[in-house]
Amino acid sequence: MEVDFDTKVGELLDRYPFLEEELIRINPRFKKLKNPILRRTVARIATLAQAARVGGMDPLELVNKIRALLGQLPLEGERTKNEADEPAWIAKEPKVILYANELLDEGKNPLAEVSKTLKELQPGDLILIKSDFCPQPLVEEMQKRGHEAYCKEDKEFFTFILKGS
């Protein structure tokens, strides 16, 4: 398996189970990979580039550390983060606030909880998700589904989901 930015975390760990502990050594934020719910859900769709952003790391650095552990040559160049300016709509009052860490601790899937919550809201309503990590795969999934999504860090992570029409 050739490891790159688009390698899925779940596939990588299925193929190389020893990398779970190595990833935690690289970045303690990756200890969430021990959560079976997270492993069955988010790890299946999250790429290494997304995991790096969740861990506050440069994607190239993470990918190259993993490649080194597997005896693969390092990649060269940079991966852009696709960071956008902070959108004005995040200043709206959220209709619902969810706590991703608590959901995970309860064995719940944050993506499923956000999806369920969105069904109960009107277009233009805002959900705020608080966590100690940026749920980048959730952000990208919400954007694919036609909603606005934005994550920012200020001592903790705040993820805003604006329901589309």
pLDDT along the chain (165 residues), means of 10: 92 94 92 82 81 85 95 77 68 94 90 95 96 87 93 88 92
3-state class (DSSP) for residue 9: helix
Cα dihedral 77→52→6→76 (10° resolution): 10
Tell me which CATH homologous superfamily contains domain 88-162.
Answer: TusA-like domain (3.30.110.40)
Domain boundaries, given as residue ranges, for the chain: 9-69, 88-162
Please give the Cα distance from 51 to 161 (Å, whole number).
20
Q: What is the pLDDT of residue 82?
A: 44
Q: What is the pLDDT of residue 73?
A: 94
DSSP, residue by residue, 14-62? HH-TTHHHHHHHH-GGGGGGG-HHHHHTHHHH-BHHHHHHHTT--HHHH
Q: What is the pLDDT of residue 78?
A: 56
